[in-house]
Amino acid sequence: MEIATQTLLANPAAALAEVAAAAGVSRTTLHRLYPTRQELLVAVASEAVDRVERAYAEVGLEAPGEEAEGALRRLLAALIPLGPQLEFIHRERSLDAELSLHTRFDSLDDLVIDLVKRGQRAGVLRADLAAWWIVSSLNGAVYAAWESIELGRLAPNDAPGMVLSTLLDGIRSAAGGG
């Protein structure tokens, strides 16, 4: 699935034969497993959502509001390496009709929104921004971090801290005022 993800991200129009060649299997073997290109795309996306769901489950998003920053840091550390899977889910337009995949994936944001709201009530996260906006910003920053790692601009170990610092502290300098 990882090779299929990489192949399809590099060439969204890749035929099953190209995916099979990249994976080192025959086209017949791939066709036996996934009779249509759409079935392969759904399988790749389903595996991607499985990986993202496992990451969310492992980071402790049910943490109390006072621990929201730590939970967000753990989430970022888990999500940034999943950049290819996240990109595939977001970029592959033929998956738009796969409602069960979207429902699974979209429900993950609700977990983070709940954490952000707890953090806001506890006074550790800004309450003047909508929780959905903070989560949308986090998602965009995760993608930017993964892309920067891929381009060699950002060290993987530095990414979670940089994203969290940008989100929590913003981009205005302390001297910039308000």
Domain-located, residue 78: yes
Residue 48's CATH number: 1.10.357.10
Phi, psi for 64 (deg, rounded to 5): -65, 160
Distance between CA 79 and CA 171 in Å, rounded?
A: 22
Domain-located, residue 125: yes
Q: To 10 degrees, the CA torsion angle through 124, 130, 135, 140? A: -120
Note whether 51 and 85 are within 8 A (CB): yes
Domain-located, residue 60: yes
Domain-located, residue 16: no
Domain-located, residue 7: no
Note whether 149 and 80 are within 8 A (CB): yes
In 11-96, which ranges are continuous DSSP H helix? 16-23, 27-33, 37-58, 68-79, 83-91
Domain-located, residue 147: yes
Q: Which domain holds residue 115?
A: 44-176
pTM summary value:
0.80
Domain-located, residue 165: yes
The rounded Cα 54 to chain-centroid distance in angstroms is 12
Domain count, the chain: 1
Domain-located, residue 79: yes
pLDDT digit of tens for each residue in the chain (178 aa)?
888 888 888 888 888 888 888 888 888 888 888 888 888 889 888 988 898 899 999 999 999 999 999 999 999 999 998 888 888 888 878 888 888 888 888 899 999 999 999 999 999 999 999 999 999 999 999 989 988 998 999 999 999 999 999 998 888 776 665 5
